């Protein structure tokens, strides 16, 4: 399928542009051992990424995707502070971009698309990660999980991005790895592209019916109707 009339592309960050799960797991396990708990397998922690830092920490404390509704607020506050402090100092230790991400983004930008990040990750972490992975200078707008009063799967950050970029919902497409991205796009009446290699709680992104899904980030380029020829440089 081809997307027509698009002017802007909104990208999720974790699990879409970057594989940040190793560093998030490191920070969760640092937090757990600091409060006298056992470490958790990074493979399990990987499946918990997608709802922002506080929910990730709450999942770490409950040891499962479902959070403990009766969690002691003081323990959460302390654990979240330990996590955020450690993660802020270790953002790009083992974090990498997925294949073809940097080259494809450069092509999209060169073709005149406005690019933005709409992540549930705290805002303050976004730019340092982009700098650390040579993804700086590509995005016109960064929206974090704490930029607005609601985050994905709520449509608010997507609508906000359209407004800031000066485009309509129809002129935008949301690209993400998780059901939160597809649900937010659906709620915003925006088309969506799912990527299969990310986290999504270990589930197939196709279960959530994005308009199209790909295994390779570079395939996004050819779905944009006005791009017929391109060459991937890396
Ligand atoms: O920090 C998270 O939980 C996930 O962020 P994402 O929205 O970029 O996937
Ligand atoms: Mg994601």
* Residue 234 clears pLDDT 80, i.e. is over it: no
Atom of ligand 1 nearest to the CA of 117: 8
Determine the Cα–Cα distance for residues 161 and 144; give it in Å rounded to an integer: 11
* pLDDT value for 37: 97
* pLDDT value for 231: 75
Tell me how far the alpha carbon of residue 234 lies from the centroid of ligand 2, in angstroms: 23
Catalytic residue positions, numbered? 12
Query: At 172, is the secondary structure helix, strand, or coil?
Result: strand
Q: pLDDT tens across 138-187, in order? A: 999 999 999 999 999 999 999 999 999 999 999 999 999 999 999 999 99
* The CATH number of the domain covering residues in 21-89: 1.10.150.240
Q: pLDDT tens across 186-233, in order? A: 999 999 999 999 999 989 999 999 999 999 999 999 998 676 677 777
Judge whether 177 is annotated as a binding position: yes
Give Cα separations from 13 to 30, 31, 70, 205, 228 (angstroms). 23, 23, 30, 16, 26
Under a CB-based contact definition with an 8 Å cutoff, are residues 60 and 40 in contact?
yes
Under a CB-based contact definition with an 8 Å cutoff, are residues 17 and 197 in contact?
no
Q: Which helix (H) or strand (E) holds 221?
A: helix 219-223
Average confidence score pLDDT of the chain: 96
Question: Hey, whose CA ends up nearest to atom 4 of ligand 1?
Answer: 50
Determine the Cα–Cα distance for residues 50 and 48; give it in Å rounded to an integer: 7
* Residue 4 clears pLDDT 80, i.e. is over it: yes
DSSP assigned state of 18: E
* pLDDT value for 48: 95
Q: Classify domain 8-19+95-223 by CATH architecture.
A: 3-Layer(aba) Sandwich (3.40)
* pLDDT value for 77: 98
* pLDDT value for 232: 77
Q: What is the ipTM of this complex?
A: 0.94
Atom of ligand 1 nearest to the CA of 151: 7
Name residue, tokens 């027509």. Answer: 4
Exposed/middle/buried for residue 140 (C-beta within 10 Å: 0-12, 13-18, 19+): middle
Query: At 119, is the secondary structure helix, strand, or coil?
Result: coil
Domain ranges for the chain, please list them: 8-19+95-223, 21-89
Name residue, tokens 């997507």. Answer: 158
Stated length of the chain: 234
Query: At 215, is the secondary structure helix, strand, or coil?
Result: coil
Q: pLDDT tens across 44-90, in order? A: 999 999 999 999 999 999 999 999 999 999 999 999 999 999 999 99
φ/ψ of 176, rounded to 5, equals -160, 170
> How far, in whole angstroms, is CA 184 from its chain's centroid?
12
DSSP assigned state of 113: -
* pLDDT value for 101: 97
Tell me how far the alpha carbon of residue 14 lies from the centroid of ligand 1, in angstroms: 5
Atom of ligand 1 nearest to the CA of 199: 9
Tell me how far the alpha carbon of residue 131 lies from the centroid of ligand 2, in angstroms: 19
Q: pLDDT tens across 108-138, in order? A: 999 999 999 999 999 999 999 999 999 999 9
Pocket (CB within 6 angstroms of ligand 1): 12-15, 49-52, 56, 119-121, 178
Under a CB-based contact definition with an 8 Å cutoff, are residues 175 and 9 in contact?
yes
φ/ψ of 166, rounded to 5, equals 75, 35
Does the pTM surpass 0.90? The reply is yes
* pLDDT value for 1: 83
Determine the Cα–Cα distance for residues 71 and 81; give it in Å rounded to an integer: 16
Under a CB-based contact definition with an 8 Å cutoff, are residues 116 and 11 in contact?
yes
Determine the Cα–Cα distance for residues 224 and 221; give it in Å rounded to an integer: 6
Name residue, tokens 């992540």. Answer: 119
């Amino acid at each position: 399928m081809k997307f027509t009339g698009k002017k802007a592309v909104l990208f999720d960050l974790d699990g879409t542009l970057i594989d940040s799960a190793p560093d998030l797991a490191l920070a969760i396990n640092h937090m757990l051992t600091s409060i006298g708990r056992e470490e958790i397998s990074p493979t399990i922690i990987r499946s918990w990424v997608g709802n922002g830092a506080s929910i990730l920490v709450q999942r770490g404390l409950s040891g499962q995707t479902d959070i403990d509704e009766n969690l002691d607020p003081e323990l959460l506050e302390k654990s979240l502070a330990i996590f955020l402090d450690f993660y802020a100092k270790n953002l790009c230790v083992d974090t990498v971009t997925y294949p073809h991400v940097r080259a494809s983004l450069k092509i999209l930008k060169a073709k005149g698309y406005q690019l933005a990040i709409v992540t549930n990750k705290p805002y303050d972490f976004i730019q340092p990660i982009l700098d650390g992975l040579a993804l700086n200078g590509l995005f016109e707008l960064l929206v974090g999980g704490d930029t607005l009063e609601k985050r994905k799967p709520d449509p608010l950050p997507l609508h906000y991005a359209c407004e800031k970029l000066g485009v309509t919902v129809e002129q935008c497409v949301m690209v993400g790895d998780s059901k939160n991205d597809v649900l937010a796009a659906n709620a915003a009446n925006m088309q969506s592209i799912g990527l299969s290699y990310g986290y999504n709680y270990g589930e197939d992104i196709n279960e959530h019916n994005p308009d199209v899904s790909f295994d390779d980030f570079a395939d996004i380029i050819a779905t944009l109707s006005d791009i017929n020829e391109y060459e991937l440089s890396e």
